């Protein structure tokens, strides 16, 4: 065990219990699931304590009252609210939409979502301006997009100094180029925004397919006191596949968890997955099992021993060390060999 108390708290984006639509199955994978029912589905997963909710709440009959009563009924907590500033109306951007009226509606939607968030007692607001960016060279003035995004964030987060606003970055999709595309660009924008309550959400998968080292991005954001939350999932590094945790990149997931653990990360580990063809509850359970195992392994890492290897930048030594902790059986075989 490191100095960290064992943190085995888990949460999930509510979208992973809803209906999935892509550009092929435009009729959706599975039936529509109103948000209160998605909350009940989430509650069937042992260990989940909180959910990140899209706003407006979706599905027929979904309202603040029905969502609140589903939360009360299941004992789940609203961890965050994600305003849908990425839907059809904002296909040319939210903060950066060429139409000032649409820009204002995006700001109004975030303001409304924030009021609901405060009412539900969320830990933070999650801002994912997924449509803010561009698709073609010369399509937009990068400086104008930057300035509008900075101003927009100032406008929504400024009135609520006591409430964190986390910007979730992503390299691409739905745009070929998103404005908040990397940890570094997001931190630079946050510097320009100049508000204490604005920080970063690192989605492990976004960081992976943005060709980052997710652990390095964690350290970068932590060193500036700007890491608000993380999303957990996995992918093949070329797309945001949103697969179960550790299904492809176990070693880098462990490194990511180790960095957070070492910093005393005490927030629920939030799942962000799109189990298009899997049972969502089973996919969440699979991630929780994997996360629990990897966290046990991260806890067992002797920081001093690792620090010595890293001091010498001993690549194979560090690899052997990680394999030892990951596969004790494997390491015994190696020593005997």
Chain positions contacting Fe ion, by CB under 5 A: 203, 231, 240, 272
Residue partners of 231: CB distance under 8 A and separation at least 6: 13, 168, 201, 202, 203, 204, 205, 206, 270, 271, 272
Residue with tokens 């943005």: 210
In the bound state with Fe ion, the residue whose beta carbon lies nearer, of 203 and 234, is 203
Label residue 2 left, alpha or beta by phi (over 0 means left) and psi (-120 to 50 means alpha). beta
Which of 103/244 has CB closer to Fe ion? 244
Shortest Å, Cβ 328 to Fe ion: 33
Nearer CB in complex with Fe ion: 178/301: 178
d(C-alpha 199, C-alpha 196), whole Å:
8
Residue 94 or 321: the one with the smaller Cβ distance to Fe ion is: 94
291 vs 10: CA distance, rounded Å: 9
Query: Nearest approach, Cβ of 317 to Fe ion (angstroms)?
Result: 34
| CA end-to-end span of the chain | 29
Rounded to an integer, what distance in angstroms lies between the CA atom of residue 87 and that of residue 110? 13
40 within 8 A of 74, measured Cβ to Cβ: yes
- The CA distance from 232 to 216, in Å, is 16
* Closer of 87 and 102 to Fe ion (Cβ): 87
Pick 252 or 272: Cβ nearer Fe ion? 272
Shortest gap between Cβ of 206 and Fe ion (angstroms)? 6
Q: How far is the CB of 202 from Fe ion (least distance, A)?
A: 9
Q: Which residues contact 147 (CB under 8 A, 6 or more apart)?
A: none
Tell me how far, at minimum, the Cβ of 326 lies from Fe ion, in Å: 26
Question: What minimum distance in Å lies between the beta carbon of 272 and Fe ion?
Answer: 4
Residue 246: helix, strand or coil by DSSP?
A: coil
């Amino acid at each position: 065990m490191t100095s960290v108390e064992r943190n085995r708290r888990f949460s999930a984006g509510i979208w992973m219990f809803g209906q999935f639509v892509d550009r092929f199955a435009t009729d959706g994978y599975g039936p529509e699931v109103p948000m209160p029912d998605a909350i009940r589905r989430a509650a069937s997963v042992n260990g989940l304590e909180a959910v990140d909710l899209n706003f407006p709440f979706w599905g027929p009959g979904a309202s603040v009252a029905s969502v609140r009563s589903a939360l009360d009924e299941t004992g789940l907590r609203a961890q965050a609210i994600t305003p849908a500033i990425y839907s059809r109306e904002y296909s040319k951007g939210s903060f950066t939409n060429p139409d000032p009226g649409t820009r204002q509606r995006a700001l109004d939607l975030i303001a409304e979502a924030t009021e609901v968030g405060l009412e539900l007692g969320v830990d933070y607001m999650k801002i994912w301006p997924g449509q803010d960016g561009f698709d073609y060279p010369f399509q937009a003035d990068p400086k104008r997009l930057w300035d509008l995004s900075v101003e927009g964030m100032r406008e929504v987060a400024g009135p609520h100094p006591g409430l964190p606003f986390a910007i979730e970055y992503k390299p691409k999709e739905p745009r070929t180029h998103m404005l908040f595309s990397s940890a570094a660009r997001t931190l630079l924008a946050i510097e320009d925004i100049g508000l204490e309550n604005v920080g970063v959400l690192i989605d492990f998968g976004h960081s992976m397919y943005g060709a980052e080292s997710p652990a390095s991005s964690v350290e970068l954001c932590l060193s500036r006191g700007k890491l608000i939350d993380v999303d957990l999932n996995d992918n093949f590094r070329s797309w945001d596949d949103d697969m179960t945790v550790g299904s492809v990149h176990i070693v880098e997931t462990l490194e990511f968890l180790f960095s957070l653990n070492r910093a005393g990360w005490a927030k629920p580990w939030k799942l962000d997955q799109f189990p298009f063809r899997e049972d969502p509850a089973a996919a969440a359970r699979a991630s929780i099992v994997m996360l629990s195992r990897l966290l046990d392994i991260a806890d067992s890492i002797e920081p001093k021993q690792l620090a010595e290897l890293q001091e010498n930048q001993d690549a194979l030594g560090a690899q052997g060390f990680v394999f030892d902790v990951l596969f004790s059986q494997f390491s015994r075989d190696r020593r005997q060999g």
